[in-house]
Structures are given as structure tokens and as C-alpha cells.
A and B are shown apart, each in its own frame.
Chain A
Amino acid sequence: MRPMVLPRHGLCSRRALLRSALGGVFLAPFLRQRSLEAKDATPKRLVLVFTPDAHPREWWPSTDDGGKLGLGAPLRDFAGLESELLFVRQLDHSWTFDNHHEAGMAQLFTGARFFDDATHYANGPSIDQVLLARTDLRGGTPIPDVHLAVADSGEGNQRHVTCYSGPGQPIPHEASPSRAFSKLFAGVSFGGSSAEGAPTSTLERELQKRMFELDRDAIQSLAAHLGQAERERLDVHLDALGELEQRLRPVNDAGTPPATGCEAVATSGVTTSDRQAANIEKWGQVQADLLVNAFLCDRTRVADLAFGSSGSQHTGLLGLKNGGTDSWHEVAHLSLGEQERTQSVSLDGEALTAAAAYAEFDRLWAARVAYLAKRLKAIPEGNGSMLDNTLIYWGVECGTDHNHGPSDMQYLLIGGRNLGFQSGQLLALPSATSAHRLHTSVLHAFGDVEATGFGIEESCGPLTGVLA
């Protein structure tokens, strides 16, 4: 099968994004120099979540006559959060290639095709980056977005990346909680620590300002001689200059005081192995705690939390024994066939059907997502909770039962009640529908109300029934 590669156009261009958002030609860094005082009184937040290998059919909820959701085994840690969940059935990805793993990853949150036939990166920005460019989702927070990994090393190839800043521009994940903490809370005073890196004298500040100007001029002079794809790569550097200038803006000697309820997160005790459930639970908890505290401190409002990678093996995790290969990806394969899914595998010495085992594997990741949702739910904000103002947008790369195709994709929207999401339902679509329409609804919810579509389907429109 041939990949279908479209030329870059329209929505895929960072400059085009910015132009459409602002109605004029501005440089990206100017956006980043917004006043920190411009914070929204009722912040909106977005967390993209990825878990590996798709979900088994048991992941879909049952509904009673009144439409009330009944959660299956993989989602039992979401008990009590049923009213926060919005399932959409019969969503399809709009294109595929090979076994869909890489096509699924590329379009998961971008709606784009491959950037090229070699890297299989996405040919456009992910929805978080679109919203950062076209709305005030950032709200003056010091860090535009954060991208964290659990049970994965944060590698940069197409099976590990979920977010893109533009065509062929993967955003790597930070797998280390301690490094993530340093990035998220640089300059924040917890117990008297002070900001690092900021110039301390008037002369130092003036020198640094000159250096930024020199670097900015240099990028613009280089870009003048380059084609679009190269210019877009330099745009990333230009954005970074603006961000760094903000980061190194001098603060008082004590650093930026934390907001109420904003506490440092202990990042020790994490072992970065993807094969022990206890490690993954701890790793996932710390990364989720970092996100929650980043939200509490209003350090950022946009995040991406990825567990594992597309087709990841996690050999032996949960004590899996399966005829010597002991790879969870192999078990995922078994879940699709009616005969294969009844085959026996062993978890910690206990014999289970492959289907039941796969549900346990899926639950391991789901529990980490539930932990994040519950933490947000427990934090009062406005008239409700932080979860009411936050959308956790959870996707996987393949169809139901690890279906190696683009059909019956499994996106779950968690929270976001104050954004208008009609939570607490299974929206059963009458026929197969493009997932781009769901993405378009999400754009609308976050204020990009003029979006007519998403990714390669620029006119697909939103999905009825998702938003109030």
C-alpha cells in the first residue's frame, strides 16, 4: 500500500496559523511576549493522553435504558467519574498505511498525513499547538506546553511522538520527572530557592538583551534564503528565543512566589523501567502530580502525557508469560480474533484468557489516567473543580481490539464540563464518521469557533452531540 502524502498547505504552516489567528503578519515570538498579567480568570486547560496498543472491546461502556454508563474491566478505576466521561463510537481515522500503527500515531492528534515516506512524522501541528496559536489557551502562563512520558524513554521516532509543532516537527517527551520539574518550575521559589540564569545587574541585562537581538537578526537573515520547510524549522528557534527571553526576565531575588496550593513535587523514587507495574505506577503518579501542580501554579495550561509507545512490548509486565515471547504487543494481537482471544496466557502465575489479560494490561494505563482525572476533580476551582475546566483528551493509535485499521478508533474525553462537553454519555454515531470532526469540536470548545475542520479535512465540520 502506498502512503498518501499531501503537500504542505494552509493549516500546516505555522505562519499561516498565526496569520489566520491574528489577521496580520506577526512574528511568533511577539505572541509569547504577552503580559503575564493577562491571565484568564477561568483558565481552560488541555491534556492530551496516549496509551499504547488500543483498547479491547471491553473498554467500551454499557448503557442502561437511561443512558447511564456502565464501565468495563479496563476502566474500573474510573468508578465515580462516569459523569465526566464522553465516549464516541464509530470514529474512523481518515487514512491508513500498512498496519496503521504509524499512520495512527501521525494522525492521532494532528489529523495530518505523513510528512515524508521515511520518518513517517506528521505533516502538520497537533491540536494543542493549533490551539496555542489560534486561541488564548495559554493565557499568559510562562510555559506554553509540557510533554511528558511514562514507561518510555522519550525517543523521538514516529512511534513515540504524539505532538508536533508543525510539519515534520516532532515534540519530544520528557521522561525524567526531575528534568520535567526543573523545566516546569524554573524560577519558582519553593522554600527560598532563587531563579537561576537570570542576569543580576543592569549591564548584564543589557548585554543579554543585545545577544537576543543579535540571534534574532541572524535567524531572520538565514531564513530569507530558505524554502518554506527550512523557514518553519527556524521559526521554532525564533519562538524559542522569545520564550527564553521571558524565562530569563529578571525576577525578584526570592524568585517567583508560588501560588496558593502550589507545592513542590518530590520526583525521587522513580525507576525508569517499563516492565514493572510498581515502577510504572510511581512514574505515572509523579508525572501526573507534576502536571497537576503545574496547573495549580499556573505554570502552563497545555500538556501531553504519553504512556509507552505505539506497539511497545513491555515484556513480562504484570508477570506475563505467553509461550516465551512474553510481549504485550503479542497479546494485543490475540485480542482481535474470536478464537485467539480465548487462548490462555499467564499473569503472575494465574491462567487467563488473552482477552482478560489484555484488559488487565489496558487497565494498568487507564488507572494512571484515572489518577490524573481524580486529582483534578478533587481540586476546587470556581464553582466546580479543576477537571471541569480541563479536557483530558485520550487517544490510541489503532482501532478497537488492536484492530490494525483506521476504524472504530477509541478517543475518550474526560472532564471539560465548563468547556461545554456533554459528558456522561456514550455518543453512538449512526455510521462511521471521521475523527477530524471530533477534533473540530474540541477546537470549538477551546474558543477556535471559526474552525471549519481539522488536519486534512478542512471542511468536515464539528460533531453534533459533543458540545452543548
Chain B
Amino acid sequence: MAPSGTRERWLAPLLFAACTRLGASTEAPPPTLGDESAAGADMGGDSGQDSPAAARAGSKARGGAGGGGSDAARETTNPYVEPAGAPAELPARTFRLSHAEYAASVEALVQKTIDVSDLEPELDNGIYRNMSSSGLVRTDLLEEYYAKARAVTDALDTEELEALVPGHELEAEAKSRFIAASVERAFRRPATDAELEAYGSLFELGASEGDITLAFRSVLRALLTSPHFLYRTELGASDAGDEFSLTDHEVASLLSYGLEGRPPSEELFAAADRGELTDPKRLEDHVRELVAGTRAEASLAAFAAEWLELDAFQISGAPGDPPLPEKDAASFPGFDDVRSAMQEEARSFVEGHAGLDATLEELLTTDVPEPRGALGDFYRSGQSGSAGGERHGVLSLGALLSLGAHETRGSPTLRGLFVRKRLLCQEVHPPGRAPPALDRTQAGADAKTTRELYEQHAKQAACVGCHAELDAIGFTLESFDGAGRFRTEENGVAIDTTGDLSGTDRDRALADHAELARALAESEWVRECVATQAFRRYFGELESARGLPPIQAARRALRAGTFGEALVALWSTPSTYRRRREP
């Protein structure tokens, strides 16, 4: 992880005073409004915002929102500014294997699958689970690694053990060949002379009482607990200077674990042997080959689920707890019956429209097919839901809409917050003092619609300053209730889906969520954000500066290209193999 001082330089421009509008052009991304990491908990349940009514009035003054209709001619408040280029070098590091990568690596070495579900749970640091800085090996996990190593090597029968030995004979003469091959598979690089000697010595100790199989098992067991096995390294050659290139084999591991979740294939290893992975002219070819594979497709789907927070949508909860998001059965009868279908709808849509051949515009704007069966019936089971109901893009998926909601109602705040955080990479700061609770005021009690409730609430002085930036986005999704059901009215009042997008390069008044989707699809800030999210997830690293080559390359690729092209661009810059040593 980069020193905090370094990171501060990048993040500082993001951290605007809570909920203030960005002024004219700066080099910074648009302001994010706050980090509601407790999913609304510290906004007083949703409270605290600039008056949406005032926001709409302001929008009208600037171009006529409120009545619907986009206003692309309106002057933007935060035009996109191309960043100055940042150095390609990323910090030198070690990167502990994730549990899934560990399992794949064990299998690659001993040709046996292992169960890793009982390993110490991986830390969720609130960014992505595979951030390299989270990969600590504490005593309990180390003990589990040792136990797994012992169990899996003890379980190898003679035939299985022979299969791992070049020549397939369990004899002392095979020692050197076996160790060289095993170290290469385990450490994802050729063995050093010192390693051949050290593991050779261990082999001989294992064989010292006449059991030759113990010699082979002991070497494998030792390799499975070695830090060279448990960590990917990004250290370069031992004589590298402060700024240096990784070894080709280190690049092979970075690419293969990043894109395929497993150690390098024989083909990639051979390319590393030939020195092609630190050759800028050849790197992209190899990246393209990896990205074309089915494993890369799976890794992209996994990234999309994490990025879009779809993994928070559960079919079953933790022991004793209901699944998330929880819904009040009286408010949304039948929700639990369609959880699986709703999750499947989201999975299918995202895999199809955030896949290698899809574009960001598709993901954000493609019409969601009306589902058949129980889920379709559910979506039309709201107060008024017999007509219309068109859904445009990922934001209108039932799974995301029900996550952007509370148990009894939808939440324009949470929905707006999602757009700010996940699509614009903007920070939104919760208010320092807790605002009044949303439902506890007379104004709240009098509100007939969710929109009225939020607008009334936002009139309170304590709420001024935040919610307009969030709710004005979320209001465009008001045609969907807290469980994703379509509605044209709420408690007899016609639904108003007008809203406003601010703090971006595509600021405009919005008639509905379709206009929101189109505006986001046009935004360069959104493309930079998606590229940034991909960098964090795939490199397991926070960006230390704006303008990092892989992020900017992926952003440009997202303009007209597919997610697959963006992945190729992300991985094909010198940042894949250039590193710097930190003090």
C-alpha cells in the first residue's frame, strides 16, 4: 500500500466540504458527497439534504427541470478535465493469495482439490476483498496453511505422488528434477540455486530413515507453506534499483491471478521464459489472449458484482438472520418468494451487459426485459402497476432498487448515493451532527409519497446541504418502490420522476431514470470511475494519483469500446511491469 501521504494527494480533491457544489473546472473529479458506509445509518435514516424542491427550482432557473425533459445545453458545473499523466510505477509489494487463488495454486502443485471454506475468513476492508494490503498472515491462518499442507500431502497415494515426479519414479535420483519442477510450479518461477540446495537438503532429511515417499511429501509440504508460494511478489530482480521492471515471471503471475484467478498456464510461463511479458510490444498480445478466455469472463463478472454491490443481495441470511435486503412483508408481500428470480435477473443482466463484448453504455441504458412468471407478476403487483414499467439499464434492476431502499419504502437517498459512490467515485460525507429522523415529524406524517416525505424532511435546517445532491438523482427512480415494483402513483398521488444531475460533466435536469442513465453513459467522469474501480479490483491496489496509465487507458477504451477492450487496455500499460521501491 502506498504511504498515506501519497494517497492523500489523490484523494484530497475528492473530499469537498460536505454537499457543496463544485465550482468551475478543476483537475479533480466531481465532488462526492459523503461516505455513507453504514448504508444510510448515519444520515438519520436518510435525512439531511438540501431541499430537493429548492434544487429543482434551481434546476429550472438553470434550464427548466422539474417538468421533465433533458437539458443538454445547460452549462455544466464540472467539465471533465483530462488528468496530467502520473508515473507508471506502482509500489513494490507482496500480494497474499486469496483463498480461491490459494486453492487453485495448491491444485496446480499437487493435482488435488482442497476445501478452503474453513480457512480464516478473508477481511472485508470496505473496498475490495482482494486488496493486497489486506493480506495479512496471522498465526491462526498460518496454522491452517500448515494443516492444509500436511493434510493434502499426506493424502497423496503412491500413484498420485509418482505423477508429480518427472519420470514418475519415486527414487532418490529424481530429487533434483523433482525439486526443480516443484519449486517452479509452486513459486511460479524457476528455482534458484539456493532453493535447490535448501529443498534438496530437506529431501535428504525426509529420506534419512528409509521412507522415500516422506522425502517427496516433505518437499511438497514445505513448498505449500513457503512465503514464496503464499504471496505473489512484485519485487523485480534482486539487483534492481529504486525504479525497476518486474521479472517476466512476476508479470505472468500478476496477469494470470488477476485475469484468471490461478497460477500461470504453461503457455504464459513459456512467454515469461522468453521475456515477452516485459516487452511493451508483446505484452498486449498476451493480455488479449488471456482476456479472450472464459476465465477472464468469469473474473469480469465477479468484478461487476462487487463493483455494483450486487453481492449484498442475499437469498439466505447468516444463521439466525433474515437475508438482505430485508423487506416488510406487509409492505411488499411476496418479496421473499421472488428473491432468487430477482438475483438471477440481475446476474443475467450484468453478465450480458457488463461482459467482455458489452459496453458501459449498454450496461447503463439497455432496456431490461420484462420478466415472465412470478417475478414479472411481482413487479406489477404494486399499487398501480398494470401499465408501463419500462426499465432502462442496470440502475433499474429490481435487485439494486430493493437494495437502495428500506424495509417499508424506497430511498431516493440511498439510490442517489449509489450513483455518486459507485458510478462517479464521489465521496459523500454524512453530516457531523445527526439529523432528525425521517419519519418522526408532522411533515413526515403528512407526506403521501416517498418524494414528499423526503422533500419535507429536507426543509429542516439540519438537513440543508446534503440530500439535494443525492435525492435529486434518486427521485428519477421513483417509479419503482422499495422492492423494485413499478408504480405510477403512490397513495393516490401521481409519481413524479423528475430529478437533477449535478457535479458532473453532464449536469442536467432529468425527466426520469432513462435520462439519468443516458447522462451517466455520456459522462467521462463515469468512465474514469469505472476504470478506477477496475484498477482497484484487478490490481488489488488503491490509486496513488490521478492519471495512472492503466486507469486512463481503460477510461479511453470505455468511450467506444467493450469491457473486454477496457480490460486489455487496463493491463497493457507499463504499470503492469514497472514498480518503485518505497522507503
Q: A19 contacts the other chain (Cβ, under 8 Å)? A: no
Contacts of B582 in A (CB 8 A): 226-230
Q: A237 contacts the other chain (Cβ, under 8 Å)? A: yes
Say whether B133 contacts A233, CB under 8 Å: yes
Contacts of B4 in A (CB 8 A): 5-8, 114-117, 123
Say whether B218 contacts A273, CB under 8 Å: no
Say whether B139 contacts A240, CB under 8 Å: yes
**Shortest Cβ distance from B319 into A: residue:** A272
Partner of A315, one of B7, B326, B583: B326
Say whether B205 contacts A272, CB under 8 Å: no
Say whether A98 contacts B38, CB under 8 Å: no
Give residues of chain A (182-205) contacting chain B, Cβ–Cβ below 8 Å.
183, 197, 203
Given A118-B7, A227-B583: A240 touches B142 (CB 8 Å cut-off): yes
Binds A, one of B222-230, B498-506, B567-575: B222-230
Say whether A222 contacts B17, CB under 8 Å: no
Contacts of B218 in A (CB 8 A): 207, 211
Binds A, one of B8-16, B69-77, B251-259, B306-314: B8-16
Q: A159 contacts the other chain (Cβ, under 8 Å)? A: yes
Contacts of A2 in B (CB 8 A): 12, 15
Q: A384 contacts the other chain (Cβ, under 8 Å)? A: no
Q: A140 contacts the other chain (Cβ, under 8 Å)? A: no
**Shortest Cβ distance from A230 into B: residue:** B93
Partner of B235, one of A165, A222, A311: A222
Output the least CB separation between B312 and chain A (Å): 13
Contacts of A253 in B (CB 8 A): none
Q: A313 contacts the other chain (Cβ, under 8 Å)? A: yes
CA distance A248 to B214 in the complex (A): 19
Output the least CB separation between A224 and chain B (Å): 9
Partner of B143, one of A99, A165, A197, A229: A197
Give residues of chain A (201-229) contacting chain B, Cβ–Cβ below 8 Å.
203, 206-207, 210-211, 214-215, 217-219, 222, 225-229
Say whether B440 contacts A323, CB under 8 Å: yes
Say whether A99 contacts B432, CB under 8 Å: yes
CA distance A157 to B205 in the complex (A): 44
Partner of A158, one of B42, B126, B147: B126
Give residues of chain A (299-342) contacting chain B, Cβ–Cβ below 8 Å.
310-311, 313, 315, 323-327, 329-330, 333-334, 336-337, 340
Q: A155 contacts the other chain (Cβ, under 8 Å)? A: yes
CA distance A117 to B543 in the complex (A): 11
CA distance A35 to B368 in the complex (A): 67
Q: What 0/1 readout, one digit per residue, does chain B (112-142) give for beta carbons within 8 Å of chain A?
A: 0000000011111111000101111111111
Q: A39 contacts the other chain (Cβ, under 8 Å)? A: no
Contacts of A421 in B (CB 8 A): none
CA distance A157 to B134 in the complex (A): 10
Partner of B18, one of A1, A117, A229: A1
Q: B430 contacts the other chain (Cβ, under 8 Å)? A: yes
CA distance A336 to B437 in the complex (A): 12
Output the least CB separation between B4 and chain A (Å): 5
Say whether A225 contacts B321, CB under 8 Å: no
Say whether B235 contacts A168, CB under 8 Å: no
Output the least CB separation between B48 and chain A (Å): 10
Q: What 0/1 readout, one digit per residue, does chain A (269-312) give for beta carbons within 8 Å of chain B?
A: 00111111001000000000000000000000000000000110
Contacts of B42 in A (CB 8 A): 98-99, 101, 311, 329, 404
Partner of A211, one of B134, B222, B321: B222
Q: B436 contacts the other chain (Cβ, under 8 Å)? A: yes
Q: B34 contacts the other chain (Cβ, under 8 Å)? A: yes
Partner of A273, one of B139, B319, B430: B319
Q: A128 contacts the other chain (Cβ, under 8 Å)? A: no
Say whether A98 contacts B34, CB under 8 Å: yes
Partner of B227, one of A158, A219, A333: A219
Partner of A155, one of B93, B124, B407: B124
Contacts of B214 in A (CB 8 A): 203
Q: B383 contacts the other chain (Cβ, under 8 Å)? A: no
CA distance A158 to B330 in the complex (A): 35
Contacts of A203 in B (CB 8 A): 205-206, 208-209, 214
Output the least CB separation between A182 and chain B (Å): 9
Say whether A336 contacts B434, CB under 8 Å: yes
Contacts of A408 in B (CB 8 A): none
Contacts of B429 in A (CB 8 A): 1, 98
CA distance A120 to B35 in the complex (A): 11
CA distance A404 to B41 in the complex (A): 13
CA distance A276 to B121 in the complex (A): 24
Q: A451 contacts the other chain (Cβ, under 8 Å)? A: no
CA distance A206 to B433 in the complex (A): 61
Say whether A119 contacts B127, CB under 8 Å: yes
Say whether B124 contacts A237, CB under 8 Å: no
Q: B94 contacts the other chain (Cβ, under 8 Å)? A: yes
Listed residue (B17, B139, B225, B582) with the most chain A CB atoms within 10 angstroms of its CB: B139
CA distance A155 to B126 in the complex (A): 10
Partner of B37, one of A156, A159, A214, A237: A159
Contacts of B150 in A (CB 8 A): 197
Contacts of B328 in A (CB 8 A): 324
Say whether B1 contacts A229, CB under 8 Å: yes
Q: A100 contacts the other chain (Cβ, under 8 Å)? A: yes
CA distance A116 to B90 in the complex (A): 17
Partner of A340, one of B126, B139, B318, B440: B440
Contacts of B202 in A (CB 8 A): 207, 210-211, 214
Output the least CB separation between A29 and chain B (Å): 11
Contacts of A101 in B (CB 8 A): 38, 42
**Shortest Cβ distance from B141 into A: residue:** A240
Contacts of A315 in B (CB 8 A): 326, 407
**Shortest Cβ distance from B331 into A: residue:** A324
Listed residue (B8, B198, B201, B326) with the most chain A CB atoms within 10 angstroms of its CB: B8
CA distance A5 to B100 in the complex (A): 34
CA distance A114 to B199 in the complex (A): 42
Given A116-B4, A234-B94: A157 touches B320 (CB 8 Å cut-off): no
Give residues of chain B (420-441) contacting chain A, Cβ–Cβ below 8 Å.
429-440
Say whether A404 contacts B143, CB under 8 Å: no
Contacts of A276 in B (CB 8 A): 320
Contacts of A7 in B (CB 8 A): 3-5
Partner of B206, one of A117, A118, A207, A230: A207
CA distance A229 to B1 in the complex (A): 7
Output the least CB separation between A270 and chain B (Å): 9
Give residues of chain B (397-453) contacting chain A, Cβ–Cβ below 8 Å.
406-409, 429-440
Say whether B321 contacts A273, CB under 8 Å: yes
Q: A258 contacts the other chain (Cβ, under 8 Å)? A: no
Contacts of B209 in A (CB 8 A): 203
Say whether A218 contacts B433, CB under 8 Å: no
Output the least CB separation between B326 and chain A (Å): 7
CA distance A96 to B139 in the complex (A): 33
Say whether A172 contacts B123, CB under 8 Å: yes
Give residues of chain B (293-322) contacting chain A, Cβ–Cβ below 8 Å.
318-321
Give residues of chain B (34-74) contacting chain A, Cβ–Cβ below 8 Å.
34-35, 37-38, 41-42, 44-45
Q: What 0/1 readout, one digit per residue, does chain A (158-183) give for beta carbons within 8 Å of chain B?
A: 11000001001111100000000001
Output the least CB separation between A395 and chain B (Å): 19
Say whether B37 contacts A102, CB under 8 Å: yes
CA distance A120 to B7 in the complex (A): 12
Output the least CB separation between B503 and chain A (Å): 18
CA distance A194 to B426 in the complex (A): 55
Given A117-B15, A276-B320: A1 touches B432 (CB 8 Å cut-off): yes
Query: What are 13 A-B contacts defined by CB distance under 8 Å?
Result: A98-B429, A99-B434, A117-B15, A159-B37, A203-B209, A222-B227, A230-B91, A240-B137, A240-B141, A243-B142, A275-B320, A333-B44, A340-B440
Top 4 A-B pairs ranked by shortest CB distance?
A227-B582, A273-B320, A156-B123, A157-B126
Q: A3-B15, A101-B42, A211-B218 are in contact. List 20 more A-B contacts (CB 8 A).
A: A1-B429, A7-B5, A121-B125, A197-B147, A203-B209, A207-B205, A214-B202, A218-B227, A226-B93, A227-B581, A230-B93, A233-B94, A237-B227, A241-B142, A243-B142, A247-B143, A311-B38, A330-B44, A333-B44, A402-B434
